[in-house]
A and B are shown apart, each in its own frame.
Chain A
Amino acid sequence: MQLFFSYFKDLVGREVTVELKNDLAIRGTLHSVDQYLNIKLENTRVVDQDKYPHMLSVRNCFIRGSVVRYVQLPPEGVDIELLHDATRREARGG
């Protein structure tokens, strides 16, 4: 958890897609994230607009961390070396 938190904090201001466990996927600018991985998005749009037409107009939203399935990151926001190091450290309990 702590690992993801530090990682997502660096992505504030970037465009991400948050996929919920109910299959709703919302794209938007990452406004903030807290230690429980609650996510606030701005300038949001629903990826599958046909299925969720009423979410069209929502400009900003708060998503509960526990209902997030995935966060898709911008490719340029992924530092694989950094992630590898961090996951190894976490795995060793450091």
Chain B
Amino acid sequence: MAVGLRHFTARAGNGSGEPILDTDNGEELVHVQPSVSVAVGNRAPESPGTLYITTRQVIWLSELDREKGYAVDFLSLSLHAVSRDPEAYPSPCIYTQIETEADEVEDESEDSDSECSEVLDLSKIREMRFIPSDANQLDTLFQVFCECAELNPEPIEEGEEEGHNWIFSADQLEDEAGAGDDVEWHFSQNPTNTIGHSNGHHDLASSVLELQINDQRFEDAEEMEHDSDTGHHHQSQQ
């Protein structure tokens, strides 16, 4: 789903002008901020360019190198914030975190490797900073980022609705009264959903159950139950 950071070179006016947007599908330019440097991952800031914030993505185009530009969809921007403390970063900036595909597949290597290598793999970049020459613009930029992020909710995945209906059906909750928090556990105990029961291989069935006990989802459920028991925290899962 998350495509992360990518190169962007589609410029209007013979390659020197504004970025070419997907206006046919409703993409609009919301804010233009000239004189902005960009720092990708842990790399040094790159020469000033212009920041274009659209209803769909954030685009930075270099002023000096017409072939150089970056873009990231709001769908891939996990977090953005104003960073002003010189100890955290030398220049006041908009700090962003980017969701990458590697995040979703449990990455094995640290991103520092890819950031130091000769060829920059943008799809693995998890952080980016936008440094306006005029730090007074930070609050405005932050606000524009917020407004545009809100225009880009997560697309609804197919089949999600059905899934919720059977997990949270009122009948199920009432039948299993007393252990209502432990939804995932019901799922794995439900014979109609457990591989192995139907053909009578009980060993297989129990090993499937064990697998699901180690499932991360189960740990989460256990935490929730524990926390509500102690009453110190109450965690809500999305």
- Which A residues form the contact surface with B (CB < 8 A)? 4, 7, 20-22, 24, 34, 36-38, 40, 44, 53-73, 75, 78, 80, 88, 90-93
Contact = CB atoms under 8 A, between A and B. Distances in A.
Contacts of A70: 235-238
Interface residues of B, number: 38
Contact of A62 (B81, B103, B238): B81
A21 B82 CA distance: 21
Contact of A21 (B103, B154, B169): B103
Nearest to B173: A91
Contact of B84 (A4, A20, A59, A65): A59
Given A20-B78, A54-B95, A56-B88, A62 B233 contact: no
Given A38-B149, A62-B80, A75 B170 contact: no
Chain B contact residues, majority secondary structure: mixed
Contact of B79 (A37, A67, A90): A67
Contact of B233 (A37, A38, A72, A90): A72
B89 interface: yes
B146 to A, nearest CB: 5
Contact of B154 (A34, A36, A69): A36
Contact of A64 (B78, B84, B168, B235): B78
The 5 residue pairs across chains A and B that have the minimum distance between CB atoms:
A57-B85, A61-B81, A57-B88, A67-B78, A58-B81
B231 A20 contact: no
Chain A contact residues, majority secondary structure: mixed
B99 to A, nearest CB: 6
Nearest to B77: A64
Contact of A63 (B79, B170, B235, B236): B79
Nearest to A22: B103
B168 A90 contact: yes
B145 interface: yes
B153 interface: yes
B232 interface: yes
Contacts of B235: 70-73
A18 B84 CA distance: 21
13 contacts: A20-B78, A24-B79, A40-B146, A58-B83, A59-B84, A62-B79, A62-B80, A62-B81, A63-B78, A64-B149, A65-B153, A65-B154, A88-B173
B234 interface: yes
